[in-house]
Structure 1
Amino acid sequence: MYAKKSLWVAAGLAGAAVAVRMARTPGAASSAHRWLAVTVNCEPEDLRPDKLPSPLQEYGERIETRISAAPADRGTELAVRFRQPPPELARSVPARLAGQDPRQDLRRALRESKALLEAGEVLVPDEPTTHDTPGGKVIGLFSRRASGEGVL
């Protein structure tokens, strides 16, 4: 029985080593420089890089913008990315959990821009109705994190 557990631990450590090596490859570094995109319900000619909504205008020359027709005539694809990728420390897991990853703010600005273009305002959900319990604190943490990552 002990030999089986040792085998599983060794396999897990080998898998972790492969994952760490993959994370440090040049391809993984370029993923930090990928485009963030949303599909907006408007025509491509209605959207211009010099007339973006205010959440994206605040970034000025720090971002690149790409506007194209969405597949299957479903509106316009608005994509943005930083001209210079954020430093690796700013993209770390602790920075993401603390809400200090600059890509989280860019994601939020992109979602707010979509809302402004489609609805004319940014709709904000109500605060969760949780009590000050351990479970409620976990729900609150996930809810705050979701606004930066775009997912819960």
Structure 2
Amino acid sequence: MTFPKSLWAAAAGLTAAAVVVRRRLQARPADPAAPDRWLTVTINCEPGEVQPEKLPSPLSEYGERIETRIRPAPGDRGTELAVRPTQPQPTTAHSVPARLTGDDPRQDLRRALREAKALLEAGEVLQPDTPPTTRETPGGKLVGLLSRRARGEGVL
């Protein structure tokens, strides 16, 4: 038995929506008044090479609006660089629609953290030469939506 393409596209859309909802529910802090959680990356360099006063430009532009934590990564595997906003964010900014439309303020901080990691490790931020090619089919629209979301979140 074969299924029509539109049924496969609908199933893929429902699966993607379920993943977003599951991640949202898992990321919800127990206390709504609690500060935002730390966003962390592991950088392939010695802990002494990363200085809080000399962070790369994507993070240094945040200034006092972020709190920074630098420590050795477990197992001598580099350095952990963690940041979080100093001011609590409104709960509506973390909603699923805000994340899908790119209005979640944490997305910019995640992007800055990834760019800082690239600058500290490679000295430059690598960008793709061409955007992904997708067709205007239901599946292609889903891939386009997930690709746009991944730029801010760092994950699909």
What interval of TM-score do these two structures reach, taking the shorter chain for normalisation?
0.7 to 0.9
Structure number with the higher helix fraction is 1
Q: TM-score, normalised by structure 2?
A: 0.76
Q: Say if 1:110 and 1:148 are closer, same or farther in 2 by CA, change over 3 A.
A: same
C-alpha RMSD over aligned residues: 2.1
What secondary structure sits across from 1:113 in the alignment? helix
Deviation above 6 Å: which 4+ runs of structure 1? Answer: none
Distance 2:44 2:33 in 1: 29
Residue in 2 aligned with 1:85?
88
Residue 31 (structure 1) shift: 6.8
Deviations 1:78-128 (A, max 9, x none): 000000121111111211111110111111110111011111111123411
Higher Rg of the two aligned structures? 1
Distance 1:95 1:32 in 2: 19
Q: Say if 1:97 and 1:116 are closer, same or farther in 2 by CA, change over 3 A.
A: same
Q: Say if 1:120 and 1:35 are closer, same or farther in 2 by CA, change over 3 A.
A: same
What secondary structure sits across from 1:65 in the alignment? strand
Residue type matched to 1:133 in 2?
Answer: T
What is the correspondence of 1:41-80 to structure 2 with a 5 Å cutoff?
41-80=44-83
Percent identical across equivalent pairs?
A: 70
Residue in 1 aligned with 2:134?
130
Q: TM-score, normalised by structure 1?
A: 0.78
Distance 2:63 2:155 in 1: 26
Structure 1 gaps of 5+ residues are 1-21
Residue 66 (structure 1) shift: 0.3
Distance 1:65 1:92 in 2: 25
What is the correspondence of 1:71-150 to structure 2 with a 5 Å cutoff?
71-125=74-128, 126-150=130-154
Distance 1:99 1:55 in 2: 18
Distance 2:118 2:35 in 1: 25
Residue type matched to 2:136 in 1?
Answer: D
Q: Larger relative contact order (C-alpha < 8 A, sep ≥ 6)?
A: 2
Residue in 1 aligned with 2:17?
none
Distance 1:109 1:78 in 2: 12
Q: Say if 1:120 and 1:26 are closer, same or farther in 2 by CA, change over 3 A.
A: closer
Aligned residues: 130
Residue type matched to 1:112 in 2?
Answer: E
Mapped contact 2:35–2:87 kept (Cα < 8 A):
no
Residue 32 (structure 1) shift: 5.9
Structure 2 gaps of 5+ residues are 1-24
Residue 149 (structure 1) shift: 1.3
